[in-house]
């Protein structure tokens, strides 16, 4: 039977109609939230204070929490009289601006609710402050609520009194009646009011980390961010200095706000200057591809943002951060870590047990305190003889090292050295047993090429099974010998074509990866509290205050060229303390830059941090060996200052032919001074004037140049007051490019 066309058409229309109705209904949907009356609140000031700084927050009549001030300590109660800021251009002064109401700037909080709406208006609910036991910190927690959706927010400020550091973070509590998506959830927001803002921040690349740039912020938005997933600090660090009311970075004077995000994943820090000239800073996890789902009743706590303010210039801000980091953040911060010989540049992948035993003998005779076996010791079916195979197979390579690791490690111990070993547990070479056994553990996106970088793939740390594996790598390597004292933890590539076969929501990947890493590190620290662990990521690609909670030190850069290191170590020192800065002397021509610098210059630079050597000692001449012994020995006399002293930079290496810096003990009784010629300056033949800082002007210091027979300063061996040394009378002669010197100052 043939069906008339008209009936077919009617049936089709009938089939389509209900759909259209449903769509139409959807379009007309009315939102279900009731507008809830906002409870009346008492306007009040909430002051978060340290010894010398104040962060002044204020609850307005309508319950909005505003930030009125951050800077030198004030009487916060006077801010009660400050009239409400008229929010004409949508920027406002909210202490934690959210998408919604009249706020039109970069939000710290942006939520998509189950009904598709985006608006949030947080209102004050309560707050409390209490001293934190075991420190001089006071924690203030402010509880806010959106009265339409029920979403809650807790802002926490940990104010470290003596260090003048405030550690801020936020936590969202989903008390709405359904799941939500966190489109933006910053750790902290800060509004500054000044005539101008000079932003100082680090950019870089592999072997050129921490290159410093200064820029005067204009109106609009400036972003510091990364989307690399891992290796997040290779091309820029989640930290900055902001100098107020100046167009120049001043080392010793002027107001400086410094910030550093404690997060080893994608970060974003925005600086927005609107028509009112306020500078609004929002810092946190990068929302890129991370619309984080938060189920009903769940909470999300952000990483921490570390703030400090100083009116003693960049130097003051750095010292405050360093003091805080040594005391409260860096794993065992401020403890002296051993000098070492690392096998990498001296042997690369080519060694036998004998090679390593010789290196250990040499390290011992040079006065070093540890030997570290770098890459190349593992893999059997896929031996690690180059970087193309073996990652993932953490079993000793029996043809290279038939006697095993314990044989070498216990030999090191027998020579009075500690022993360290390299791992890169987050990664896998396609050429490995692991890649064949667990292809589902690799970061990947369905149907896409899994791109290689350095011939390797990234393991999916968002997956708890992979976390167990990575923890197991550390744990099983530690079982190779009871004499393992140090692990160099590497991470040599970023994430491409991100994706996790494990996760339901790919939006969780970037955040869950880092949380997975931190879970692993937490477990490691529970079992191995005393093992020294270096955070390496192709050099300094994971340098942040999140990772430093678990790691003792960082591998500052694969580039050990003395000249390049002056700049990178200066850049690192703006935010991070010298106790974390691993600095090695390597051979020349330098393997990265091909530059040739004198051995003494290389030492004088490396002695600014945790000193190490990374070369084949056999190639050193007798003269060089004598210098090595001398430098290592003298370093041990003053290195406590490197690990615990206050840093005073003597200028900047940028745009200058000379640079110097010094570390001064807390009681100002001792100091070590480093000076370098980093460009030829013919006028320098009469001596380069440095004004030494941080000394007690009334105390007298004996000045002794290290590592030389005849000094480059006329006053060497004499005793001088701190005032004299700070006057510019200290003028060592640094006549040539790469002239350098180290002086020890000891109060009488």
Q: How far is the CB of 303 from ligand GLA (least distance, A)?
A: 24
Please, which residue, 392 or 539, has the CB nearer to ligand GLA? 539
Site size toward ligand GLA (CB under 6 A) is 12
DSSP 647-674: EEEES-STT-SEEEEEEE-TTSSEEEEE
* Residues 539, 584 contacting (CB under 8 angstroms): no
Minimum CB separation of residue 492 from ligand GLA in Å reads 5
Task: Fill in the DSSP letter of residue 544.
Answer: S
441 touches ligand GLA (CB under 6 A):
no
Distance CA 358, CA 366 (A): 12
Nearer to ligand GLA, 278 or 422 (CB): 422
Which of 53, 270, 463, 492 contacts ligand GLA by CB under 6 A? 492
Nearer to ligand GLA, 374 or 460 (CB): 374
| Beta pairing class for 53-59 and 484-489 | unpaired
Q: Minimum distance between the CB of residue 510 and ligand GLA, rounded to whole angstroms?
A: 23
Check residue 469 for interaction with ligand GLA (CB under 6 A). no
Question: Which candidate, 87, 151, 144, 90, places its Cα nearest to that of 117?
Answer: 151
Separation of alpha carbons 611 and 498, rounded Å: 37
Q: How far is the CB of 587 from ligand GLA (least distance, A)?
A: 15
Ramachandran assignment for 321, one of left (phi > 0), alpha (psi -120 to 50 degrees), beta (any other): alpha
Site mask for ligand GLA (CB under 6 A), range 83-112, x = bound: ------------------------------
**Which residues neighbour 381 within 8 Å (Cβ) at sequence distance 6 or greater?**
393, 432, 433
392 binds ligand GLA (CB under 6 A): no
**Residue for token digits 């000076």?**
675
Nearest-approach distance from CB 348 to ligand GLA, in angstroms: 8
Q: Is there binding between residue 344 and ligand GLA (CB under 6 A)? A: yes
Asked if residue 490 binds ligand GLA (CB under 6 A), the reply is: yes
Q: Specify the residue, 344 or 635, whose C-beta has the smaller distance to ligand GLA.
A: 344
Nearer to ligand GLA, 539 or 684 (CB): 539
Q: By CB neighbour count within 10 A (0-12 exposed, 13-18 middle, 19+ buried), where does 703 fall?
A: buried
Q: Sort strands 256-262 and 304-310 into parallel, antiparallel or unpaired.
A: antiparallel
Beta bridge partners of 184: 110
Closest CB 347 distance from ligand GLA, rounded Å: 11
**Going by C-beta distance under 8 Å and a sequence separation of 6 or more, which residues neighbour residue 387?**
349, 375, 429, 454, 455, 456
Q: What is the CA radius of gyration of the chain?
A: 29
- Measured from the CB atom, the residue of 411 and 422 that comes closer to ligand GLA is 422
Q: Does 553 bind ligand GLA (CB under 6 A)?
A: no
Which residue, 312 or 375, has its beta carbon nearer to ligand GLA? 375
Min separation Cβ 391 and ligand GLA, Å? 9
Rounded to the nearest whole angstrom, what is the least distance from the CB of residue 478 to ligand GLA in the complex? 19
Least CB distance from residue 368 to ligand GLA, whole Å? 17
- Residue 456 Cα distances to 380, 436, 450, angstroms: 17, 13, 10
> At its nearest, how many Å lie between ligand GLA and the CB of residue 537?
7
The residues facing 293 across adjacent strands are 181
Which residues on adjacent β-strands are paired with residue 110?
A: 184
At which residue do the structure tokens 């945790």 appear?
A: 610
Closest approach of ligand GLA to the CB of residue 228, in Å: 16
Containing H/E element for 258? strand 256-262
CB of 376 to ligand GLA, least distance (A): 8
Residue nearest to ligand GLA as judged by C-beta position:
375
Name residues contacting ligand GLA, limited to 531-550 (CB under 6 A).
Answer: 536, 538-539
C-beta atoms surrounding 20 within 10 Å = 10
Regarding 555 and contact with ligand GLA (CB under 6 A), the answer is: yes
Q: Does 397 bind ligand GLA (CB under 6 A)?
A: no
**Between 165 and 536, CB nearer to ligand GLA:** 536
Query: Could you say whether residue 378 binds ligand GLA (CB under 6 A)?
Result: no
Of 491 and 703, CB closest to ligand GLA: 491
Q: Which is nearer to ligand GLA, 274 or 540 (CB)?
A: 540
d(CA 645, CA 668) in angstroms, rounded, equals 9
CA distance 416 to 448: 52
Residue 122: strand, helix, or coil: strand
The SS3 assignment for 3 reads coil
The Cα 132–Cα 67 span in angstroms is 23
Does residue 486 belong to the site contacting ligand GLA (CB under 6 A)?
A: no
Is the CB of 64 or the CB of 490 nearer to ligand GLA? 490
Pick from 252, 226, 97, 289: which is nearest to 647 by CA?
A: 252
Could you give the CA distance from residue 121 to residue 153 in angstroms, rounded to a whole number? 11
CB of 538 to ligand GLA, least distance (A): 5
Does 375 help bind ligand GLA (rule: CB under 6 A)?
yes
Nearer to ligand GLA, 270 or 586 (CB): 586
CB contact at 8 A, 671 and 664: yes
Q: Which of 278, 422, 469, 738 binds ligand GLA (CB under 6 A)?
A: 422
Q: Shortest CA distance to 337 belongs to which of 564, 34, 22, 583? A: 583
Nearer to ligand GLA, 225 or 387 (CB): 387
Residue 343 · residue 370 · CB < 8 Å: no
Cα distance between residue 303 and residue 285, in whole Å: 8
The yes or no reply on residue 558 touching ligand GLA (CB under 6 A) is: yes
CB of 589 to ligand GLA, least distance (A): 18
Asked if 374 touches ligand GLA (CB under 6 A), the answer is: yes
Q: Taking CB under 6 A as the rule, does residue 617 contact ligand GLA?
A: no
Q: Which is nearer to ligand GLA, 272 or 374 (CB)?
A: 374
Which one, 96 or 394, has the nearer CB to ligand GLA?
394
Which residues contribute to the site for ligand GLA (CB under 6 A)?
A: 344, 374-375, 387, 422, 490, 492, 536, 538-539, 555, 558
């Amino acid at each position: 039977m043939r069906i008339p066309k008209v009936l077919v058409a009617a049936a089709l229309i009938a089939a389509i109609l209900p759909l259209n109705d449903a769509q139409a209904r959807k379009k007309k949907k009315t939102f279900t939230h009731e507008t809830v009356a906002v409870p009346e609140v008492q306007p009040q000031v909430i002051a978060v204070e340290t010894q010398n700084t104040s962060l002044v927050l204020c609850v307005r009549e309508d319950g909005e929490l505003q930030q009125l001030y951050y800077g030198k300590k004030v009487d916060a109660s006077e801010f009660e009289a400050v009239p409400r800021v008229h929010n004409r251009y949508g920027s406002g002064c909210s202490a934690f601006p959210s998408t919604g109401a009249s706020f039109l700037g970069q939000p710290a909080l942006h939520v998509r609710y189950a009904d598709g709406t985006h608006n949030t208006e947080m209102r004050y609910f309560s707050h409390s402050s209490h001293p934190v036991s075991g420190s001089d910190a006071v924690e203030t927690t402010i509880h806010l609520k959106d009265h339409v959706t029920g979403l809650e927010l807790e802002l926490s400020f940990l104010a470290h009194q003596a260090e003048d550091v405030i550690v801020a973070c936020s936590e969202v509590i989903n008390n709405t009646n359904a799941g939500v998506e966190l489109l933006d959830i910053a750790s902290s927001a800060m509004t500054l009011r000044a005539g101008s803002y000079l932003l100082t921040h680090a950019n870089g690349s592999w072997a050129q980390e921490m290159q410093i740039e200064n820029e005067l912020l204009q109106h609009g938005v400036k972003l510091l961010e990364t989307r690399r997933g891992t290796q997040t600090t290779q091309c820029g660090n989640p930290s900055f200095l902001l100098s107020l009311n100046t167009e120049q970075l001043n080392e010793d004077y002027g107001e400086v706000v410094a910030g550093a995000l404690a997060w080893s994943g994608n970060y974003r820090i925005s600086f927005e200057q609107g028509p009112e000239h306020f500078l609004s800073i929002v810092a946190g996890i990068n929302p890129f591809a991370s619309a984080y789902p938060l189920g009903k009743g769940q909470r999300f706590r952000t990483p921490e943002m570390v703030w400090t303010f100083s009116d003693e210039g960049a130097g003051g801000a750095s010292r405050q951060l360093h003091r805080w980091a040594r005391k409260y953040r860096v794993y065992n911060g401020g403890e002296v870590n051993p000098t070492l010989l690392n096998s990498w540049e001296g042997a690369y992948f080519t060694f036998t047990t004998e090679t390593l035993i010789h290196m250990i003998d040499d390290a011992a005779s040079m006065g070093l305190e540890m030997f570290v076996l770098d890459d190349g010791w593992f893999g059997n079916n896929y031996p690690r003889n180059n970087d193309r195979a073996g990652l993932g197979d953490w079993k000793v390579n029996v043809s290279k090292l038939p006697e095993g690791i314990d044989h070498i490690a216990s030999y090191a111990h027998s020579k009075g050295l500690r022993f360290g070993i390299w791992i890169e547990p987050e990664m896998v070479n396609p050429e490995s047993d692991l890649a064949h056994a667990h292809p589902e553990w690799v970061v990947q996106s369905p149907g896409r090429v899994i791109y290689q970088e350095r011939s390797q793939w990234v393991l999916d740390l968002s997956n708890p099974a992979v976390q167990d594996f990575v923890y197991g790598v550390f744990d099983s390597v530690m079982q190779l010998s009871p004499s393992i004292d140090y692990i160099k933890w590497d991470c040599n590539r970023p994430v491409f074509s991100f994706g996790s076969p494990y996760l339901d929501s790919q939006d969780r990947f970037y955040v869950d990866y880092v949380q997975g890493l931190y879970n692993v590190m937490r477990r490691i620290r529970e079992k191995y509290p005393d093992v020294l662990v270096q955070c390496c990521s192709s050099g300094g690609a994971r340098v942040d205050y999140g990772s430093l909670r678990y790691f003792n030190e960082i591998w500052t850069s694969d580039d050990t060229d003395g000249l390049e290191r002056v700049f990178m170590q200066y850049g690192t020192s703006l935010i991070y303390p010298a106790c974390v800065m691993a600095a090695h002397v390597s051979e020349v021509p330098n393997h990265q830059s091909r530059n040739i610098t004198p051995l003494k210059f290389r030492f004088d630079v490396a002695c600014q941090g945790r000193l190490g050597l990374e070369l084949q000692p056999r190639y050193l001449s007798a003269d060089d060996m004598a210098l090595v012994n001398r430098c290592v020995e003298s370093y041990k006399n003053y290195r406590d200052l490197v690990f615990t002293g206050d840093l005073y930079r003597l200028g900047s290496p940028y745009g200058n032919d000379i640079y110097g810096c010094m570390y001064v003990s807390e009681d100002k009784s001792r100091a070590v001074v480093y000076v370098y010629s980093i460009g030829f300056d013919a006028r320098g033949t009469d001596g380069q004037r440095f004004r030494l800082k941080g000394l007690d002007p009334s105390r007298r210091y004996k000045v002794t140049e290290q590592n030389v027979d005849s000094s480059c300063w006329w006053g060497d061996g004499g005793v001088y007051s701190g005032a004299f040394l700070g006057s510019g009378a200290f003028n060592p002669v640094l006549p040539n490019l790469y002239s350098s010197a180290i002086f020890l100052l000891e109060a009488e």
